[in-house]
Amino acid sequence: MTAELIDVAYSVEGIREGAEPILRRLAAGARDRELTRSYAFREVAELAEQRITLTGIARADGGAGGTLRDVADLIIAIARADSNVAQALRSSFLTANQVASRPGLTHRAATLRRLRAGDLFAGTNNERAGGANGTITTTLRRDGDGDGYVVDGEKYYSTGGLYANWFTGSARDESGAIYTVTVPVDRDGVQRLDDFDAVGQRLTASGTTRLTGVRVAADEVALRDNSTLDSPWLGSFAQLYLAAVQAGIAASALDDAVWFGRERARPIKHSSAAASVDDPYVRHVVGEIGARAQAARAVVLLAGEELGRVPLLAGDEARAAGAAASVTVAQAGVIAAESALRAAELIFDVGGGSATNRDLAFDRHWRNARTVANHNPRDWKAAVAGAYHLTGQEPPTTGLF
């Protein structure tokens, strides 16, 4: 490894220590940002300065070391502070995970340099072109007789687009082959739109990216070919990430439930308690929210541990472990989503009508959890897990498991 990559040593502990005060400020402002539709540009920049995405990358490669469990734990902590920010950082962590788990990754050294510099990534393969989900109409063509290319198309769900330094998307060439293209967001012809319009996760900067005559160098293009991989379930970490966001939402709902119960709630008229914290039903509700948050966190960390072992294996052993880990991640996704949705609903049982006041923005927890859950239907996850247990059928390799 070159001196350029190892001139500064990072650690999991150091990153978490540096991130903690930023996450506290992020959490303190989450409600106001929701009410005013304001982005956390300052806090996200500060998290990037802490090199959070180096968590899980080997120290020999210039990363901070640590395991995939450490990565999942960090994502939960960010989502607990503000799930919008955690979601917006998803593409950056996905990029880092590719570097960490795939030594043969195309353009790996260049990507690692960008991560070491604190750069953030946005990316999506999604389009709204009227075709079936997964259809790619974005085009990649040769730029004259040179080595470069020109890209034209429009991508939606460009998660984290307004925060990012780089945009990654898929494109199809004249022969039908699919490529991954990575370009700076300030490249001529790249336009980022703040047009994401969902009920929740409104501040994830997940809108449209338009690519109009964007010139791309040969070293910014990679053929998408996963046929040689021992474990083809490349979507498992992406799905683990969503489950970690759900775990963070459940934990955030617990934080707000505790605060409201202590500071604002009043006992109902016929309560046996003089203070809400002493009301047995309030205690029961907060206890159940805590249990849901704990369950979500536990399944995510367990799945992270299992998935983290797959890159250490090879051949048939890696494929078997990859399939099993994919199922574990899918099951974690089911439990994390349902736990977050339930915790977000229960928060309103901590108080009376005042708990629904808009200035509290407690509804954001449910709306955010519901939006994340809609990314990939959990009924499919449960059914795929059931098929694996009953017949040994491998999960699909669509990226959703």
Domain extent listing, the chain: 3-119, 139-223, 236-391
User: Mean pLDDT over all residues of the chain?
Assistant: 94
pLDDT at 19: 98
Among 152, 185, 187, smallest CA distance to 166 is for: 185
The mean pLDDT value for 263-267 works out to 89
The dihedrals phi and psi of 39, each to the nearest 5 degrees, come to -90, 150
Q: Which of 37-51, 122-136, 138-152, 195-209 has the lowest mean pLDDT?
A: 122-136
CATH code of the domain made up of 139-223: 2.40.110.10
Three-state DSSP state, 391 = helix
**Which run of H or E residues covers position 305?**
helix 280-309
pLDDT at 2: 41
State the Cα–Cα distance between residues 329 and 337, nearest whole angstrom: 12
pLDDT at 130: 58
pLDDT tens profile 113-130: 999 999 999 988 889 865
State the Cα–Cα distance between residues 221 and 204, nearest whole angstrom: 26
Is residue 226 over pLDDT 90?
A: no
* 72, 240 Cβ separation under 8 angstroms: yes
CATH architecture assignment, domain 3-119 = Orthogonal Bundle (1.10)
State the Cα–Cα distance between residues 152 and 239, nearest whole angstrom: 28
CATH topology of domain 236-391: Butyryl-CoA Dehydrogenase, subunit A; domain 3 (1.20.140)
pLDDT at 1: 41
Identify residue 229 by its one-letter amino acid code.
Answer: L
Residue tagged 């005042």 (tokens): 354
Instruction: Write out the two tokens for 338.
Output: 């349902």
Name the burial class of residue 130, with classes exposed (0-12), middle (13-18) and buried (19+) by CB atoms within 10 angstroms of its CB: exposed
